[in-house]
Amino acid sequence: LSAVAGAITGSLSTFKIKHYSGLIKAGIMVVGVISLVVLLIGLVRVQPISQILSMMLWAGLGGAFSVFLAWVTIPAFERIMGLSSSIRLIGLSDLNHPLLRKLAIEAPGSYHHSINVGELASRACEVIGCNALLTRVGGYYHDIGKLKNPSYFSENQPPDIKPHDKLSPQMSSLVIKKHVEDGVDFGREWGLPDVIIDMIRKHHGTFLISFFYKVALDEDRHGVVEETDFRYPGPKPDTKESTILMIADAAESAVRSLSNPEPTNIRRTIRTIVENRLNDGQFDDSPLTLKEINKATDVIIEATTVMYHTRIKYAETGA
């Protein structure tokens, strides 16, 4: 009976735990309940007080040891196996996580972009019923590879510094593509769950880096420009969460660069982004239906409009 009571208490007390430290509080509750049940059983059976106290002690020690074992082994097991429980994902979503703080300091533009992407993607996931927490965390960490060369990405560049002017379009493409590989390496180095590393790897799919591809075509004199040299290595997203992350990432980047972020421009831009990726086959491996893609896109359009729509400038009335 005491074991059943302990199991029920453990299940209820750990149901909404957000950090591993919450296991300690749950353990105290489990030990307390087990000890109380043992005490009541002993009193009902009219057992000697010394025997009751001994049983309470052993029951309490057993419960405490079980909780301690869980507190030590669960995080280690998750890291070794690359797993991602809700507790671990909630921990990774903490904006004070050392890797996110490093991104904020060394690549502030990429950091703010990533936080916005996480917000947009999680909202879209909530609407279509997939894992919003996982997608939020994926959004937060998807661009950590930009820590390697932050100044080569537009969101981190001061207006008067343009490092790509000194590079060929082919070399610029290599630098841009490299942030995906670097992100995977950083993810492994920092012990991120495999599912997050997988989202980092797939958030661009095999999409074309069109800006530098067009520059290369304009500069080409011998017809030797290969389109494959300007495509991300992939693979394409193959889960609902990674597909939504791709859409949210591209949408946020494009809308942030608009000179006139009015609602109609935002809607047109995001619709074009989704259509281009659909036509390019980036969603071929995704389980998302067209209906779900449209629903997710509508949510991202709405949320992005709130983020970036310029305020209406009312004329002064003198009142």
Domains of the chain in sequence order = 2-81 (no CATH), 88-308 (1.10.3210)
When pLDDT is cut at 50, 70 and 90, the band that residue 270 belongs to is very high
Round to whole Å and give the CA distance between 229 and 198.
22
When pLDDT is cut at 50, 70 and 90, the band that residue 52 belongs to is confident
Residue 272 in tokens: 């074009």
Round to whole Å and give the CA distance between 94 and 85.
15
When pLDDT is cut at 50, 70 and 90, the band that residue 133 belongs to is very high
**37: Cα separation from own chain's centroid:** 43
Q: How far is CA 65 from CA 15, 18, 34, 58, 213, in A?
A: 20, 21, 13, 10, 61
Residue 156 in tokens: 């981190």
- Cβ 121 vs Cβ 142: under 8 Å: no
* CA atoms within a 13 Å half-sphere pointing along the CA-CB vector of 241: 21
Contacts of 43 (CB under 8 A, 6+ apart): 52
Residue 273 in tokens: 């982004």
Q: What is the DSSP string of 276-309?
A: HHHHTTTTTT----HHHHHHHHHHHHHHHHHHHP
Name the residue type at position 202. K
On average, the pLDDT of the chain sits at 85
- Rounded mean pLDDT, 32-61: 74
What pTM, to 2 d.p., does this model score? 0.78
When pLDDT is cut at 50, 70 and 90, the band that residue 220 belongs to is confident
Q: What is the pLDDT of residues 153-201, one digit of tens each?
A: 999 988 778 899 899 999 999 999 999 999 999 999 999 999 999 999 9
Q: What is the pLDDT of residues 65-121, one digit of tens each?
A: 766 666 566 666 556 655 567 788 998 999 999 999 999 999 999 999 999 999 999
Round to whole Å and give the CA distance between 289 and 89.
26
Q: Is 270 left (phi over 0), alpha (psi -120 to 50) or beta?
A: alpha
Residue 56 in tokens: 């309470």
DSSP state of 233: -
Q: What are phi and psi of 291, to 5 degrees?
A: -65, -45
Round to whole Å and give the CA distance between 44 and 52.
11
Which of 77, 59, 73, 72 shows the shortest CA–CA distance to 9?
A: 59
